[in-house]
A = this chain, B = another copy of it.
Amino acid sequence: MKQYNPVTAEVVKALQDVVGEKYVKTAPDVLDVYKSDESLAPSYWRTPEVVVLPANTEEVAEIVKIANKYNVPVTPRSAGTSVSCGAVPVYHGIVLLMERMNRILEVNEEGMYMVVEAGVRTIDIQNLAKSKGLLYAGDPCSSDSCLIGGNLATNAGGNKAVRYGTTRHQVYAIEVVLPNGKIANLGAPLKKCSTGFCLDQLVIGSEGTLGIITKATLKLVPLCPYRLDVLAVFTDLGKATALVPNLIKAGLNPTSVEFMDNNFVRSASDYSDLRLPHYEDGYYDIISIETFNEDELDDKMEKLAAICEACGATDVVEADDRVWTVRRNCLESTRVFSKVATSEDLVVPVTKIADCIQSLVEESKKYDFRVFCLAHAGDGNLHFQILKCDMSDEEWEKQLEEFRDVAYKYVYGLGGRLSGEHGIGFKRLDYMEKYTDPVELELMKSIKRAIDPNWILNPGKVISAD
């Protein structure tokens, strides 16, 4: 296993020379803040030896050079909203905070793009685009707190991915500090390109293992003026999940299709003190449709209602604020049942989501934990929330391991993968090694070795260090 040197006073001094004394933190209480993310998985947390806050790309590059010189690892960190321990410094060393690099450098309405530093909050990008009558279509559920750099590193998904794709589809170009400290500009603000290797997409989603993204040129698209959200209620799980491919095939081009199982319908309704249709036995699909004109919206709504009914929906109503409140409160509502929980981020082909949910819910009945299911159903992304409830720690770990082995094997058999939008991080590293095709895994490692021979950048994530 890769060995690193400790962060010595000499390293700290070198970092101070780059960013200034004020922006190098070594106080234990500060370091403690950066040991974790939002995964609530203390066994994966690690405390950094030093935290640095660079002001610009050149400083990031210098920090990476220092890391190579002294053989200490660098873990880049955005807002720390990851739930996969992607920003946890597995080998300690340096945590590099992007939050000072928070400038929006250009909004080009004519060219429909925005140039931002990596530390800009996603919601600020969304709001600025909206104020210009445009849409930035990346929309992770944590958009009000996460930073765009983290979205890019994990290829974050979210609420609009069915129609607009994930974060990697919103990008024209990125500026990246490579593991050797050189600065690369990858991609270009072009609608098409056949000029060399597609390096921007290689770095996006690599979770900071192949480079630290410092800037991005983001695509903006026309903002749809018309929108309607529909709640389709089913009393049959299979029917509720079978709706999705029919919506896609009909050309309805929904912005999102969200699924909630009855566990979540009940718990989130209770938590929100709201009563929605079929509280006792309902499975919910919430479908958002956006259009550029009113007639088109009317037409799509008619088609949508017909499809929902043909698929066996019990109720098809407009999804008002109450529905979204319930949806938003899902995760929070499970705390009543269990303070300890873990979430899965499985993704399967859209046509398999009905089978997958049914099979895994059935499988979960063999265990003592409780499983609640939410899905970004329109893109096949399944979030199982697994609640420890009153299990012992030992049983919890043991049964979780058993369930995951069954579930992951099944999901890979369907053509699915471990993570749809949260990333592998540290949390899923062992499973990544176990379930990934060995040829693919070796290809990833050979690229990592070539680009980062000292294995300096974010070691212990995605693939294990040699």
Contact = CB atoms under 8 A, between A and B. Distances in A.
Interface of A: 108, 110-112, 154-157, 161-162, 165-166, 168, 178, 182-186, 188-199, 201-202, 204-206, 210, 222, 224, 245, 248-251, 292-293, 295-296, 299, 345, 347-351, 376, 378-381, 415-424, 432, 436-437, 439-444, 446-447, 449-451, 462-463
Top 5 closest pairs, chain A to chain B, by CB: A450-B450, A191-B379, A195-B417, A222-B251, A201-B201
A193 B450 contact: no
A416 to B, nearest CB: 7
Contacts of A349: 111, 189-190
Given A110-B245, A296-B296, A440 B196 contact: yes
B205 A421 contact: no
B110 A199 contact: no
Contact of A192 (B292, B295, B380): B380
A444 B199 contact: yes
A443 B198 CA distance: 11
A203 B295 CA distance: 43
Contact of A439 (B184, B296, B350, B442): B184
A183 B443 CA distance: 11
Given A110-B245, A349-B190, A419 B195 contact: yes
A210 to B, nearest CB: 7
Contacts of A251: 222, 224, 292
Given A112-B249, A185-B440, 10 more contacts: A111-B245, A184-B439, A185-B437, A190-B416, A191-B380, A195-B418, A197-B202, A222-B251, A224-B251, A251-B292
A293 B296 contact: yes
> What is the count of identical protomers in the complex?
2
Given A188-B417, A194-B155, A194-B424, A446 B437 contact: no
A241 to B, nearest CB: 14
Given A201-B202, A296-B296, A196 B450 contact: no
A193 to B, nearest CB: 5
A166 B205 CA distance: 21
A205 B201 CA distance: 12
B245 A463 contact: no
Contact of A184 (B380, B424, B443): B443
20 contacts: A111-B350, A182-B439, A185-B440, A190-B417, A190-B420, A191-B380, A192-B379, A192-B380, A192-B421, A194-B205, A194-B422, A195-B418, A195-B419, A195-B432, A196-B424, A196-B436, A197-B205, A201-B202, A222-B250, A224-B251
A325 to B, nearest CB: 25
Contact of A415 (B188, B205, B424): B188
Contacts of A161: 191-192
B193 A417 contact: yes
A111 B197 contact: no
Contacts of A189: 349, 415
A296 B154 CA distance: 37
Nearest to A446: B450
A465 to B, nearest CB: 15
A222 to B, nearest CB: 4
A351 B197 contact: no
A444 B112 CA distance: 29
Nearest to A379: B191
A139 B345 CA distance: 35
Contacts of A183: 439
Contacts of A188: 415-417
Contacts of A202: 197-199, 201-202
Contacts of A250: 222
A197 B157 CA distance: 16
A161 B190 CA distance: 12
